[in-house]
Structure 1
Amino acid sequence: MSKRAREYLVSLEEVVSVPQARIPWQALWDGYSDDHAGQTVLSHAVPVESQPSKSIAIVGAGSGGLAILKTILDLPAEVREGWEVVVYDQRLDVGGLWLADPPGPPPQPPVLPESPVYPLLHTNTPHPTMTYPNFTYPPYTPLFPSHEYVQKYHADYAAHYGLLPHIHLRHSVTAAKWIGDAESGKWDIEVHELNPKHPRAEPVRVLKRSFDHLVVANGHNHYPHVPQWNGTEGWLAHTPAGRPQRELQHSIYYRRPEKYRGRTVIIVGAGASGRDAALQVGKVAHVVRSIRLVASGAHLTFSQVYQSLTPGTEPTPGAIVVPKPRISHFTDTSVVFEDGTALADVDAVILGTGYEFRIPFLSAPHSSVLAVDPATALNSTTAPTLVSNLRYVFPLYRHIFSLARGLPPTALAFVGLPVLVANCPSDIAQSLLVAHALANASVLPSRDEMRADLVARERALRAEGLDPYYVGHRLVSPSETDHDYQDDLVEYLKRVGALPRDGRKFVEAWRRHGRGEARLLGRGWERAVALGLERVWLEGVETEEEWAKLLYRLADWQRAYEEEHGTPVEQFISYE
């Protein structure tokens, strides 16, 4: 075993046993006093003599924020000379959604958790396919790791590349206003410095800064989408005598299955969190799954969606999961489904119904940059400003640059909006385009060309039976996969001379293979673990090339087993 592997195994024992242990700023917080909380409003101006040649604010220190920060810092020193790059994140550490909530009782509605992470959360794709280019997970990392490993990976990335000095943790951006027009201007940004011990209390101080560019990289798994049904209040108010209080909650509040032991539970949703909840709660409760369609279009039917998800959502033997149609409404006594059937003994409904694209600091009352209207009739050709219908932020060029008429395209960029992607490599591909455009705006096509490109892509989705304003940022088009999207972004930069032409695709063949064979690899990994072969498979695997070879070998091993033994029994836990 290599020295790096030994050191990592020792450090990992500490991290996994105490998930919050890796807090490099803990000593500062332990000495923090509450005496000054909320007493100062500070206008934080940069002295004239030290004004940067370009100032960039990045919101979020998760996968996307780290990607764009690293990519900007990778620009040649002479290009970014005099630049100021600042990252604000309201969390205690980097890692975004992978950083679990601080210890203590979980919040209850309407207060939102800081993270949707639950203790049993693992990845649902092998980690080598999820990595930043040329930065692997450490040796002996399980192929489908728990969230602690993923958060530590992001923290290691930030430390390794010297990103931490640019990151201001426990700093929440509350307002960002564009002061200018379609040609030039500045961002006036308000930031609340939070009390690290009591982040929901009044801010320690309020910072007001001016920036040339704003990059939004704060993710899209924070504001839960909660469907509205008639009768929920009456149903919640009429809990039968002798039964626990009825519950209707989004999966962002889900933590452990033991809470539902012996209860009858409906899981609403066909996404990753819904599958996880169905499997985990299914071990201790009677579970009924209500499947909600995850895409629109006549070519998708209920049975197709159901069958494609069933293999990954089978519970362990003894658990009962009964597929049901969508919920129609509630009565005081029952949950009624669209086929007219009803269940009268339901104790809890867990909503694995996804999240909404909300960016409060860009929206009213804090800003007028982004209008939020779920029922909007506007589209990318008629929207005067940026609009979110809660599924889709538009008009954006390639899910990145704002095409709103009131500000220059490079004034506002988004990193990390695409859904159903491997975030780290996708975020790097997007960040390459953003970084080079910030250095030289002429890298981008004209505003008219970018808007025409957007309209053409929306038209292509419609031709495939998909509504772009429903699909949103989900890269589900058969004609443009998530890997194609990343390759296109990088290839464009090569065509315009921003990157050298090297004849290679951005997304390596082994990443495509690993993502495409994720279920097969999952079954193989579960079998390897069950046979006690986990360390055997991981022995000597350190480099990116070695991880890639492991994926091919494991897929071949499992495929041969399944061909010999017939149809596989789907036992692999589907992780988020």
Structure 2
Amino acid sequence: MATTSASNIKFNHVQNIAVIGAGPSGLAALKYLSAENKFKRIVAFEQRSAPGGLWNYTAEDTDDGSFAVPKTRPTKDDLEKPIWQGGDKGRNPQFLSPVYDLLETNIPKQLMRFSDLEMPEESQLFPKHPTIKDYLARYAEDVNHLVQFDTQVLDVRLLDSRVDQDGLKEQWSVKTKGVVTGEEKEEVFDAVVVANGHFFVPFIPDAPGIKEWHQEHPGSITHSKFYRNPEAFKDKKVIVVGNSASGIDIGTQVATQCKLPLVNSIKSSSYLSPGPTPSFKREVPAIKQLDPSTRTAIFEDGSSESSIDSIIFCTGYFYSLPFLSTVSPPLVTDGTRVRHTYQHTFFAPHPTLSFIVLNQRIIPFPTSEVQSAAIARAYAGRLELPPYAQMRAWEEHTLAVNGEGNDFHTLAFPRDADYINAMHDWAMSAQEEGGAARGKTPPRWGEWHYWCRERFPEIKKAFAERGKAREQVKTLEELGFSFERWKEEKVVEAQSLL
């Protein structure tokens, strides 16, 4: 391990950089790396045929090989597999997206944007997925030439790691495969940025009876990844497991078609669903046992529901990095987090490997920008990393605060906003060469961003309550949320205390 020195880690050897993925995070990485005007070659490998990542909606809900009942940990064989429409390999392959027909963002457009490109003024406040796809296509216009589309990364492994008087020098082998051509290629890079997301391998928890249920009632158990529309559940008795963003949204949609009440199995209340439980929903605890003979679900409090037709697991995804399975120490074990990271971004043992948006419960686009800014400045030799021992201490502290499991990368408000500003400040502390500013300036949040971020669950609820008319709502003020009025009320309140 070349990073065991007590000195700060410098990067002065990085000339060729591979970016894995051209979704929102990969596109941000390309922009910030390019703005350094330092590197000889920057290339992104994207397995889809267009930018945007999972925002490239696929109508197919076919199992792409990632579905298993139960699915309790990732494996090194979890590489995404293309779906060939109609089984005809002469047509374009698609990679299954978790985006569903009626998906709208759960983040208002004023927050869910990159700092240098506004969302369309005419789009609804919480945009539909085609709007996001078009937005990302526009954002990608000036970096598309850096992307090799229809190219899947099969394997990334470390070839060399050493430290000389100029800093850390590492080399990585990146093996790729043409999705259409099948041609394999191996190239060497000085740094690798992983921006492929973590919404591929679905988590389906184990419970007594679940395997037998799946065998006796095939097709009755599914995951939000494969959900497309509520009509598939018409007149069925349905359990939705989970109450995060997808669980709430999918449950609300399914309730328009299924037998009521919709049964919602949850472990705890959700910050995304303020207020009382909707009348169409019966909330129950986690599933304790399933009886396939009577199609009965028994819950942790001893209650039960019988004659269940469908169970939709909105239980999230594992972190899965099968193309990094040879890297040591291991990055992924049980799939609940990515290990050995610093600031959720740099792989501390070999920091020429980095990651973008491993975090959850965040606003992803600005987070990808501030992380990309730090990565770009570091690899350009303008920003040093602390010694390995200090990076390891950061991980130990984060484990002590967040815990070992799924919460390690979770940044619940206001920690997500504070993280954006801390990463911005770190990136902007980079040394300038020749007295001239260089690079791209990442976003920094102000009072308005904090105000909006804190309230967006309430804003989303008010938006949803408009029903079909919500499509005409384009501003926060139309829902009664005014930052200026809030500021005025704060002033009045402060004066009353004097």
The two structures have a TM-score, normalised by structure 2, of 0.79
Residues 388 and 130 (structure 1 numbering): CA distance in 2 closer, same or farther, change over 3 Å? farther
Alignment match, 1:369: 327
Q: 1:182 to 1:350 in 2, by over 3 A?
A: farther
Q: CA deviation at 1:233?
A: 3.1
1:171 aligns with 2:151: yes
2:224–2:314 Cα contact (<8 Å) kept: yes
Q: Which has the higher helix share?
A: 1
Structure 1 equivalent of residue 65 of structure 2: 110
Question: Which shifted more, 144-153 or 448-457?
Answer: 448-457
Q: 1:555 to 1:435 in 2, by over 3 A?
A: farther
1:289 to 258, 263, 275: 263
1:120 matched to which residue of 2? Answer: 102
**Out of 179, 182, 187, which is 1:204 matched to?**
182
d(CA) in 1 for partners of 2:483 and 2:444? Answer: 28
Contact map agreement 1:246 1:347 (CA 8 A) in 2: no
User: Structure 2 matches for 1:128-527, cutoff 5 A?
Assistant: 128-159=110-141, 162-181=142-161, 183=163, 184-195=169-180, 203-239=181-217, 247-286=220-259, 287-293=261-267, 302=268, 305=269, 309=273, 311=275, 314=278, 320-332=280-292, 333=294, 334-363=296-325, 368-369=326-327, 384-404=329-349, 407=350, 409=351, 411-440=352-381, 443-459=384-400, 461=401, 466-476=402-412, 481-497=415-431, 506-525=444-463
Deviations 1:242-298 (A, max 9, x none): xxx6611111011111011011010001111111121111111135434343xxxxx
Paired position in structure 1 for 2:10: none
Q: Quick one: percent identity of the two aligned structures? A: 27
Q: CA deviation at 1:448?
A: 2.1
Q: CA deviation at 1:348?
A: 0.6
- Alpha-carbon separation, structure 2, partners of 1:163 and 1:435: 15
Partner Cα separation in structure 2 for residue 145 and residue 124 of structure 1: 9
Cα RMSD of the aligned pairs, angstroms, is 2.9
Unaligned runs of 5+ in 2: 1-12, 68-94, 164-168, 486-498
* 2:43 alignment partner, one of 73, 79, 86: 86
Q: Distance in 2 between matches of 1:57 and 1:345?
A: 52
- Which residues in structure 2 correspond to 1:547-558 (within 5 Å)? 550-551=475-476, 554-556=479-481
Q: For 2:96, what is the secondary structure of its paired residue?
A: coil
User: Equivalent residue of 1:114, what SS?
Assistant: coil
Contact kept, 8 Å, 2:24 with 2:52, in 1: the verdict is yes
Residue 310 of structure 1 and its aligned partner are, at CA, apart by: 5.8
In structure 2, the CA distance between the partners of 1:282 and 1:94, relative to structure 1 (3 Å rule), is same
Distance 1:233 1:532 in 2: 41
**Cα offsets for 1:481-533 (capped at 9, x unmatched):** 11100111111233454679xxx981133222222221343355457786699
Give 1:16's aligned residue.
none
Distance 1:210 1:556 in 2: 52
- Deviation per CA, 1:312-331, whole angstroms, max 9, x where unpaired? 9737xxxx321111001212
Using the TM superposition, give the Cα deviation of residue 139 of structure 1 relative to its aligned residue in structure 2, in angstroms.
Answer: 2.6
Provide the rounded CA distance (Å) in 1 between the counterparts of 2:228 and 2:385: 44
Distance 1:273 1:559, change over 3 A: farther
TM-score by length of 1: 0.69
Q: Is the 8 A contact 2:357 2:367 kept in 1?
A: yes
Q: Which amino acid aligns with 2:415?
A: T
Could you list the runs of 5+ residues in structure 1 that have no partner in the other structure?
A: 1-51, 196-202, 240-244, 294-301, 371-383, 539-549, 561-576
- Give 1:553 deviation, angstroms: 6.9
- Once structures 1 and 2 are overlaid, which stretch shifts more, 246-255 or 209-218? 246-255
What secondary structure is seen at the aligned counterpart in 2 of 1:90? coil
The code of the aligned residue for 1:95 comes to G
Partner of 1:97: 54
SS at match of 1:489: helix
The one-letter code sitting in structure 2 at the alignment partner of 1:394 is R
Residue pair 2:266, 2:284 contacting (<8 A) in 1 also: no
Count of residue pairs the alignment pairs up: 432
**In structure 1, C-alpha distance between the alignment counterparts of 2:277 and 2:158, rounded to whole Å:** 46
Does the 8 Å contact 1:387/1:395 carry over to 2? no
Change in CA separation of 1:553 and 1:145 when aligned onto 2, cut-off 3 Å:
closer
Separation in 2, partners of 1:347, 1:533 = 32
For the 8 Å contact 1:290–1:326, the answer to whether it is kept is no
Letter in 1 for 2:375: V
* Deviation digits for residues 445-485 of structure 1 (CA, Å, limit 9, x no counterpart): 222222223323333x1xxxx42434121113x6x611100
CA contact (8 A) 2:176 2:184 kept: yes
SS in structure 2 of the partner of residue 189 of structure 1: strand
Give the Å deviation of 1:216.
0.2
Shift of 1:205: 0.8
Separation in 2, partners of 1:344, 1:495? 60
Shift of 1:140: 0.5
In structure 2, what residue type is equivalent to 1:506?
R
CA–CA distance in 2 between the matches of 1:394 and 1:509?
33
User: In structure 2, what residue type is equivalent to 1:398?
Assistant: Q
For 1:513 and 1:328, the matched residues in 2 are separated by: 40
Alignment match, 2:70: none
Contact 1:118 1:254 in 2 (8 A): yes
Shift of 1:53: 7.0
Aligned to 1:57: 18
Cα distance between partner residues in 2 of 1:416 and 1:532: 30
Q: Give the conservation status (yes or no) of the 8 Å contact 1:58–1:87.
A: yes
Tell me, in whole angstroms, the C-alpha distance in 2 between the residues paired with 1:513 and 1:347: 42
In structure 2, relative to structure 1, the CA distance for the partners of 1:282 and 1:448 (3 Å cut) is: same
Q: Label 1:437 to 1:329 Cα distance change in 2 as closer, same or farther (>3 A).
A: same
- SS where residue 229 of structure 1 aligns? coil
Please name the residue that 1:242 is paired with. none
Distance 1:527 1:385 in 2: 46
Q: For the structure 1 residues 473 and 289, does the alpha-carbon distance in structure 2 shift closer, same or farther, using more than 3 Å as the test?
A: farther
Cα distance in 1 between the residues matched to 2:14 and 2:482:
56
The alpha-carbon distance between structure 1 residues 508 and 528, as it changes in their structure 2 partners (threshold 3 A), is farther
CA separation of 1:529/1:321 partners in 2, compared to 1, >3 Å: closer, same or farther? closer
CA–CA distance in 2 between the matches of 1:224 and 1:88? 23
